[in-house]
């Protein structure tokens, strides 16, 4: 099995990233600090946000560069649109975590 076939349309992974971002946001708002050091909290947030954004970004590269994830015969157009919407939602959640980490890092 090729690496492409192993990771294509990994919806459960994308769905798992949203609660991860929400958990970081809850810790960020509730505790005000995770480690006691703002710079370290910021680094954790930035790295976590980049990790959350990595899979949707890889999906977009696969689409733009390699032409994958096109509408296949027998696929519902709605399912494809919802899948790309999920990618966008995860990407926005990752950007929010990065932004939170940057504000902690620069404080």
Convert the pLDDT of each residue in 21-59 to its tens digit: 999 989 888 888 888 898 999 999 999 999 999 999 988
Q: What is the pLDDT of residues 74-84, one digit of tens each?
A: 677 788 888 88
Q: C-alpha distances in angstroms, 30 versus 6, 27, 49, 83, 96? A: 37, 5, 18, 32, 16
Q: Sign of the CA dihedral 83, 60, 50, 11?
A: positive
Q: What is the pLDDT of residues 81-98, one digit of tens each?
A: 888 899 999 999 999 999
DSSP 8-state assignment for residue 8:
T
Contact present, 25 and 97 (Cβ < 8 Å): yes
Residues 46 and 39: their CA atoms lie apart, in Å, by: 11
Q: What is the pLDDT of residue 1?
A: 46
């Amino acid at each position: 099995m090729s690496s492409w076939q192993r990771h294509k349309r990994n919806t459960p992974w994308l769905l798992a990233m949203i609660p991860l971002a929400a958990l970081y946001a809850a810790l960020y708002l509730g505790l005000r600090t995770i480690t006691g050091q703002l710079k370290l909290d910021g680094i954790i947030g930035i790295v976590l946000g980049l990790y959350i954004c990595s899979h949707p970004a890889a999906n977009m590269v696969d689409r733009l560069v390699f032409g994958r994830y096109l509408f296949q015969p027998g696929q519902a157009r709605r399912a494809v649109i919802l899948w790309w919407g999920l990618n966008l939602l995860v990407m926005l959640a990752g950007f929010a975590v990065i932004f939170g980490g940057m504000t902690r890092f620069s404080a």
